[in-house]
Structure 1
């Protein structure tokens, strides 16, 4: 089973991202920072947050679904705000999405919030609403059930330090993943956690029996050349007890986002 986790950066590098996904054909794709704007007539609109302005693919969810047409696709919105077409505001949902190859039946799932609740009237102030999604799949080749869960950890404008909100977020994420798992299931937890390697979040997951692969394998970070800040860690891949890792890579090239894809083979 091949599992890919990636923060898609709102599809900013879609011309590289979409053909790469079509080529990779992961069994499970965990995609964070996904845009879904059903009313949008243009492919690109502006996200505006104070002085921070970013071009966004207005229907990235649909574009990824077209690149992986056989996959079962689920979009999990965290909030609905607006993107901008000049002076015109266009309603747009923001969240994460999961894509599952149909050869692996989806036999259980849970979607919930690890911080706040759904924001129907705007993206809100930071730290904003954050959701997570867990799927339970049957792997016929290995004759077992596997739970894969991912989240997009909250952003705090002060930085990636430990906070009470991040502690609760990690606890809720773990509880969500466990809620769909049977006692003997193998488990994989991943996503853009938005924390540093020494964080309380990773300590909590290690204490729960998970091995975090990015730090365990001495990677130098998970950000690409498109990210200008000095902190290079954000994304993590954790495997539970009994999971046999056949391969793991923090992919440096091609660059399909300001985050590196995490690719796990089990």
Structure 2
């Protein structure tokens, strides 16, 4: 979430872990409750995850947003989201996860009309734990068998996003002992974004994280640390996605 210090005065964010039965599929549940007198556009630099969101008027499935996710908050409200592990949503959908990229679709298309009743039951609560339990009850009713390939893909995403020395797809493929084509195919099928996008987004997350710390930053050194050819390259990449330069974002 961008501009966390600003958004802290508008929205409260909570997380809850999944049960052991859902741990192969779900990373965590997230809850946002907001109150604002003026409309506010919340902005999120998305990760390579699919989300099921219980919200009004109907629950939605959000594919990986490869740009910048923006949602307008008005008045008072709340939503509960299910953040699936990279690859974890594949077992719930009929086609490759890349088909959901940059899209939000009614959850009933994936989970059937029953998800709308589940959404009303979730949102009837104010307590986050109760909301998460309701969401779990729904997902557990027709839980698919864990897909071992999905687990392998989740481990691949973790491996390449947590290694600061990886900047290119060929490096990632070598580290993971697969061909570039295999890596691309697995990410299209299970993740919903290309390996190149995942690597690039991980660099942007690190840049934003540093900027949010509120301390002076040597942007040239950071660009080098993140594998950019120079500071201008990082600035262009950051600005194209976030909408402002790194220096301007850090000063907000």
**TM-score in terms of structure 2 length:** 0.26
Structure ID, larger Rg: 2
Instruction: Give the structure with the larger helix fraction.
Output: 2
Instruction: Give the structure with the larger strand fraction.
Output: 1
